[in-house]
Amino acid sequence: MFNPLDHKGLPLESQIRNWRELNVEPIDPEAVDPYTRCRIITMNGIEVEAINFQHQFARNCPDQEVRRQLAYVRYVESQQQRVVNWLLPGVASVLETTLGYEQVAVDLTAWVARHEPDPYLKQAYEFGVLEDFDHLYRYANLYEMVERRKAEKIVDGLTEVMPGRPTVQEHRHPFDEVRTPYDRNSVDPRSKLNALTILSAEQQVMFYYMNVGPQYMEPIARQLYQEISLIEQEHVTHYESLVDPGETWWERLLTHEYNECWLYYSFQQQESDPRIKAVWELHLQMELAHLQQAADLLRRHDGREPEEIVGSAGLPEPLTFEPNKEYLRHLLATQIDLTKLGEGYVREAHERFEWMQQQVHDGQQPPSEQVIDLHRDRFGDEYRIETEGPHPVAGLRARGGSHD
């Protein structure tokens, strides 16, 4: 397998882009492969995390020379983020991008859950994916109400649209969001990459919703973004708590760069749009040089070799955007009624869960329920895409019909 530690990549001094290179042509929203959009959204989240992580590192680093090195790479990562996110077209609406974000959250998390070697971590992804799956359904109903278009236009039948774990049930006590971290010394390196990838994606979803939500005039849209952005914040707590807090800054920097190499390598392998593929190829070459720098810093300041952190076997199997319909239906059928207690998972609505539900809902219907009722009022049914048959949970089948 490709081992990024064996490659020098593009020299750092050749990585600054000019205006012409930054001014990328966006994808055509009417003809794009939905999974190309997903790859763009994913890599944007990854680059945003890279920038924010390095800012935090710099604020905690007393060594001026290291701060300068971090500042340089951070500038390059910033340009990478601008290029990647600017591939999204201006004609797409906020809600269309939102549907893309949720498609990412569903199919990315499902893939990671299927490939995670550690059972406790796997459970964390299986738990989370059913919630993003539900968000996709709520936003799809909002989309038809507010923009009169169908989510099919965005997800294109690759991802089903129907209820997951109902968002109303996702408001848990913050204490119960905190998971047990993996042990950095014994965990499979693949698990580190999985955790960082999903953490970055969910964090970007949170940032996006908490900032774009108020741009809407329609009250139901404003309220739905507010509600779901709070769930996304819970998800960030959930996923970030999986990461061993004992990892050193040098170690974390290395994992970040290695993870970027894994994802750009994965996406360049499967990209259907040659123009976008060229971006992934270029960015891989840039990340290889960032990885070299991180490896040097690790050796110098931590006295360790990068292989001790990420292994010597090279990259894991490429992360792939592909339909996960059967897997998701299996999870829906078996885990829909789970909630969390302490650092584990339970089926009963325990006292702390009920307390939090009471505080937040306070006898009112949350926006995530209102949006479905409003859709029923306007269109006589709710919006779903059930390509593989009726909902696997009888109680979540459409009342009075659905359409797609």
Partner 1 sequence: MTDTGARTTYEEDVVDLLLAQHARIEQLFLLVIGGTGDIRREAFDDLVKLLAAHETAEEEVVHPLARGLPGGGGDAMVDERLAEERQAKETLRTLVAGGVDAEGFETGIILLRDAVLTHARYEERHEFPRLRQHVPAEQLRGLAAAVRAAEATAPTRPHPGAQSATANLAMGPALAVIDRIRDAVRKPSEGKR
Interface positions with partner 1 (CB under 8 A): 30-31, 90-91, 93, 147-150, 153, 217, 364-365, 369-370, 373-374, 377-378
CB of 218 to partner 1, least distance (A): 9
Nearest C-alpha neighbor of 334 from the set 129, 176, 111: 129
CB of 149 to partner 1, least distance (A): 4
Q: What residues contact 50, with CB distance under 8 A and at least 6 apart?
A: 74, 77, 80, 81, 256, 260
Rank residues 5 and 371 by Cβ distance to partner 1 and give the closer one. Answer: 371
Nearest C-alpha neighbor of 84 from the set 19, 22, 20: 22
Rank residues 1 and 31 by Cβ distance to partner 1 and give the closer one. Answer: 31
CB of 90 to partner 1, least distance (A): 8
Contact 327, 384 (CB under 8 A): no
CB of 97 to partner 1, least distance (A): 13
Rank residues 188 and 369 by Cβ distance to partner 1 and give the closer one. Answer: 369
Rank residues 91 and 313 by Cβ distance to partner 1 and give the closer one. Answer: 91
CB of 165 to partner 1, least distance (A): 21
CB of 147 to partner 1, least distance (A): 6
CB of 253 to partner 1, least distance (A): 40
Q: Which helix (H) or strand (E) holds 59?
A: helix 34-59
Rank residues 67 and 153 by Cβ distance to partner 1 and give the closer one. Answer: 153
Alpha-carbon dihedral 73, 75, 79, 80, rounded to 10 degrees: 30
Instruction: Please give the Cα distance from 193 to 201 (Å, whole number).
Output: 12
Q: Is 25 left (phi over 0), alpha (psi -120 to 50) or beta?
A: beta
Rank residues 186 and 364 by Cβ distance to partner 1 and give the closer one. Answer: 364
CB of 368 to partner 1, least distance (A): 12
Rank residues 303 and 400 by Cβ distance to partner 1 and give the closer one. Answer: 400
Rank residues 82 and 150 by Cβ distance to partner 1 and give the closer one. Answer: 150
Contact 206, 230 (CB under 8 A): no
Instruction: Please give the Cα distance from 267 to 276 (Å, whole number).
Output: 10
Long-range pairs of 333-341 with CB within 8 A, sequence gap ≥ 24: 333/392, 333/393, 335/126, 335/127, 335/130, 335/165, 336/130, 336/164, 336/165, 336/393, 336/396, 337/165, 338/127, 338/165, 339/169, 339/172, 339/176, 340/127, 340/172, 340/176, 340/177, 341/176
Contact 287, 9 (CB under 8 A): yes
At residue 346, the 3 state secondary structure works out as strand
